[in-house]
Amino acid sequence: MSGSPREQPGHARSQETSRAAVDPGLAEVTIGPATKFAALPDPFLFWRGGALSEGRVAYETWGALNEARDNAILLFTGLSPSAHAASSPADPSPGWWEKMVGPGKAIDTDHYYVICVNSLGSCFGSSGPASIDPSTGLAYRLQFPDLSVEDIARGGYETVRSLGIRRLSAVIGASLGGMVVLAFAAQFAGFAQRVVSISGSAAASPFAIALRSTQRDAILTDPDWQDGQYSGDIRPITGMRLARKLGTLTYRSAAEWKHRFGRRPASDRHYEVLSPGRAHFPAEFAVQDYLNAQADKFVSVFDPNCYLYLSRAIDRFDLSAHGGTMLSALKRAGAERALIIGVESDILFSINEQRSLAEAFQAAGTETEFVPLASLEGHDAFLVDIEPFAAAIGKFLA
């Protein structure tokens, strides 16, 4: 079971986890025991130029591929999750979409063979800025090729191809994943029979670009980022925390926070001890505790350079690059059916973006269902307000 993932595509197991820790300059990344690895073609050419040697994609699977090999569903994640979408015998810990993926659930693993990939460029087992460049034995950092959403899509494509799958029953993604499925459909025409894009966009809005570029600024201007050459011990924690707080601001909605936090006072005052100056400005409201907790959690697991690469890729994505317009891209894609879901309180990927996307799919000749949800939970609704999403997805896939 050991050996390089190139020799045993799709079968290298968690022994590979040490690989991400070879570079003494980076913190070790924890990869779950159900993680498998697919070797990418060598070289793997990037959409904007550049190439990767010995690249790989980490993934997990649930259910079984049928004999006809036509019951596979490929799942792409948002910016930050790993491939661990749901628990399994090999890894019983709850996954990031535990309530959606499993036996008898909306994405029903009794019927479908589900593959979830860790995005290329991320840091949970797939090749990315934090993984090792075989030509140097050190992490790529900023020498990693210029990542695009199209490359993430291709990473998923090569993964399912390595599993002997020639056509997907569906490709599904939310947030960043909701963009990746579009890049997938545009690049691999006809490969996915059905496309499900949740809280995604055909091209980032200037508001979202402003938000994400400010998040990147917070990291880029942190002296501890050190031009990407930070060590495992001293990392741009301050910038990463600010970036995550900023993200957290846009993942839910003001209405939901009003209900959840109101103006309740903070209970956690640990920031008071940091310095005499900061003691003048402690957290005073419960919502600040929440932001601090979210920031702490993120910083402990995510690599800063990977974050920068993925964040920039989202800003740059524009489906119309595939053929000149969104419509021509989707005509070329030739999906049979599409399900587009959006949330009215989403300020990051607005409902108008999903509506336009659904209209373009329809105009491209794809049988399209558009589901606008009135959830208060904002952009992250697909993670927390599961029922309406599960209802729409379950019905679409049935």
Tell me how far apart the alpha carbons of residues 220 and 50 are, in angstroms, rounded to a whole number.
23
Residues comprising the chain, all counted: 398
Cβ atoms of 335 and 396 closer than 8 Å: no
Identify the active-site residue in 346, 350, 375, 385: 346
Residue 162 in the binding site for a copy of itself (CB under 8 A): no
Q: What's the token pair of residue 212?
A: 């994400």
Site map (CB under 8 A) of a copy of itself, residues 311-340, x = contact: -x--xx-x----------------------
Paired tokens of 32 = 């779950």
Per the structure block, which two tokens stand in for 339? 């399900």
Span interacting with a copy of itself, options 8-16, 93-101, 120-128, 308-316, rule CB under 8 A: 308-316
**Phi then psi dihedrals of residue 101, to 5 deg:** -115, 120
Contact flag: residue 285 with a copy of itself (CB under 8 A): yes
Tell me whether residue 277 or residue 324 sits nearer to a copy of itself (CB atom): 277
Pairwise CA distance, residues 183 & 177, whole Å:
10
Q: Which residues touch 338 (CB under 8 Å, ≥6 apart)? A: 194, 195, 196, 197, 358, 361, 366, 367, 368, 369
Nearest to a copy of itself of 235, 316 (CB atom)? 316
Closer CB to a copy of itself, 19 or 216, in the complex: 216
CA distance 13 to 20: 13
Active site residue 346: yes
Tell me if 96 contacts a copy of itself by CB under 8 A: no
Residues in contact with a copy of itself, shown as a per-residue x/- string from 287 to 306 under the rule CB under 8 A = xx-xx---------------
Catalytic residue positions, numbered:
175, 346, 379
- Site residues (CB under 8 A) for a copy of itself? 142, 203-211, 213-214, 216-218, 220-221, 223, 225-229, 238, 241-242, 245-246, 248-249, 253-254, 257-258, 260-263, 275-278, 280-281, 283-288, 290-291, 308, 312, 315-316, 318, 347, 350
